[in-house]
Amino acid sequence: MAVHVVSLRDLDRVRGDAEPALPAADRAAIARRTHGRRRVQAQAARVLATAVAAPGSVNASHDQDFLVLAQSPVACGVDVEDAAEDELLEVADRFCAEGELRERIPARGLWAAKESAAKACGRGLRAGLRTIRFDGDPTATWSAVDWPFGSGFLTRVLDLGDRHCALTVRAATPPRVRTRVWTPTASGGRWTFVPATRPAGDPAHEVAAALSAFGGGRG
């Protein structure tokens, strides 16, 4: 499977007044249900999914700085979260069962793990995140999802310092995960993403390098 990374800050610098390279019907559908920053984020997720153009399951997540898209031949879910730990601790009772935080898993990591699992299982936030558990510590190793709707799924969470990223996939053993960076580009009044060719060292490449800890390599 693969995890693709885009810097949304780079997109802001590039897109100007250009429109996303999407069919008019797709642009209109996104415009009807979103506005402002969320509209740009939704457009970016659709453009990246189109650029990846790979069969199978595709799932996207974003925070304020990055868009992350997971692609797999089997069901998968991804979540990237940059909310402050203190903010999530204040609402922990909404997504943590009693005693979970005493297991020393960061609230932000636990939130990301549960959201990625709910997305991979096709349930979303309506699933009730409090009921999702894991048979180990997903911040330390790939852990099986312990949930009636999540049988056969593994979850792993990575601490990237100022954010956590979680990946869930239907698998019996930890998957090989390839990471790839995409660069925003604009031409002819349209913006899109192309595979990055510039040297590593920018924030998107740093995130991709950190995500290689899921297990696999860069590509």
Q: Rounded to an integer, what distance in angstroms lies between the CA atom of residue 158 and that of residue 3? A: 13
Give the CA distances from residue 89 to residues 14, 103, 116, 197, in Å, rounded to whole numbers and listed in that order: 36, 14, 19, 40
167-197 tens-digit pLDDT: 999 999 999 999 999 999 999 999 999 999 8
Question: Residues of 65-80 as b/e, b for ≥16 C-beta within 10 angstroms?
Answer: bbbbbbbbeebbbbbb
Q: Rounded to an integer, what distance in angstroms lies between the CA atom of residue 21 and that of residue 27? A: 9
Tokens 């999802």, residue located: 145
- The overall average pLDDT reported for the chain is 91
19-64 tens-digit pLDDT: 999 999 999 999 999 999 999 999 999 999 999 987 899 999 999 9
Strands (E), the chain: 2-7, 19-20, 57-62, 66-72, 76-81, 133-134, 143-146, 153-159, 164-170, 177-187, 190-195, 216-218
Residue (of 91, 123, 122, 121) closest to 110 by Cα position:
91
When pLDDT is averaged across residues 12-25 and rounded to a whole number, the result is: 96
